[in-house]
Amino acid sequence: MAARGNLDDALTPPTGGAVMEPAAVSAMLDEHARLRSLLRNAVAARSAPDNDYWVGIGLDEVVVDAESPEAVMTAIERRGMAGGTVVMEFVSSVPQVFVL
Amino acid sequence: MIIGEFDGPQPYVSAVVEIPRLRVSGAVRFLVDTGAVVTCIHPKDGIPLRLPFGRLQRGEYITGVGGRSQRFLERTTLTFLDSASAATYVYDLDVRVGKPEHVGGELPSVLGQDVLSRWVMVHDPSDGRLQFHVRSADRRPA
């Protein structure tokens, strides 16, 4: 039986994407870094949290206190801030260490 | 040379990610994980990229410190920038994408040996230096 799939899937070649110009790559990376920095500063300006929360930024406006990354994205979309780059972070109320 | 950054003790490097089948693109900051065999995009980055998780198809299991969990293979283009020379280095590979229901939201996306094995890395946290010298790439701009 043939696999079922989205028409877009069938029309898109299974190879890589187009090679982007360095200026476009640089612009995307710079914007991501800029928003990350804004977000980090916003989190640092807040007092230490009693509870874990998610925080996100789109169009330079910070959304805080969402319980999940999906909730952050929903709030950002609801405010009409999802047109460009969006960055989000988890803020833990207790120290956490990653061991991957 | 590609320049990374330390966030606390952790080494990170950023790339532009493009998943043609899902028509998704954007910047992602990856944790440089020399212990990971493969590169993974996790929900913390997949959600802001508006990745349509429901359209992921090719499932497999990966095992890590947190146990065994499911990821989905997607043909992905990663583009890294040498900001000094404005050169880009392009890699086409099957990236493992995690769905929110399978992967803890706070986990960073990780850059694994499918890319790192093609670089020489200078990892010097005491001097704040994280540099990658590219041995090979799949594509370069014309």
For B69-123, write each residue's pLDDT tens digit: 999 999 999 999 998 898 999 999 999 999 998 887 789 999 999 999 999 999 9
At A46, the pLDDT band (50, 70, 90 cuts) reads confident
**Separation CA A43–CA A49 (nearest Å):** 10
**Separation CA B90–CA B45 (nearest Å):** 20
Report the pLDDT averaged over residues B122-138. 96
Is B106 in contact with A85 (Cβ distance < 8 A)?
no
Are B93 and B39 in contact by the 8 Å Cβ rule? The answer is yes
The nearest CA of chain A is from the CA of B96 a distance in Å of 15
By C-alpha distance, which of B39, B34, B29 is closest to B111? B39
Is B88 in contact with A22 (Cβ distance < 8 A)?
yes
Are B33 and B26 in contact by the 8 Å Cβ rule? The answer is no
pLDDT-above-70 percentage for chain B: 99
User: What part of B 88-107 touches A (C-beta under 8 Å)?
Assistant: 88, 90, 92, 100, 105-107
DSSP designation for B139: B
- Please give the single-letter amino acid code of residue A79: R
Residue B55's pLDDT is what? 96
**Separation CA B93–CA B113 (nearest Å):** 11
By three-state DSSP, how is residue B95 classified? strand
| A22 phi and psi angles, rounded to 5 deg | -55, -35
The nearest CA of chain A is from the CA of B93 a distance in Å of 8
pTM confidence score: 0.89
For residues B2 and B140, the model is more confident at B2
The complex scores an ipTM of: 0.91
**Separation CA B105–CA B42 (nearest Å):** 7
Beta-bridged to residue A57, according to DSSP, are: A62, A87
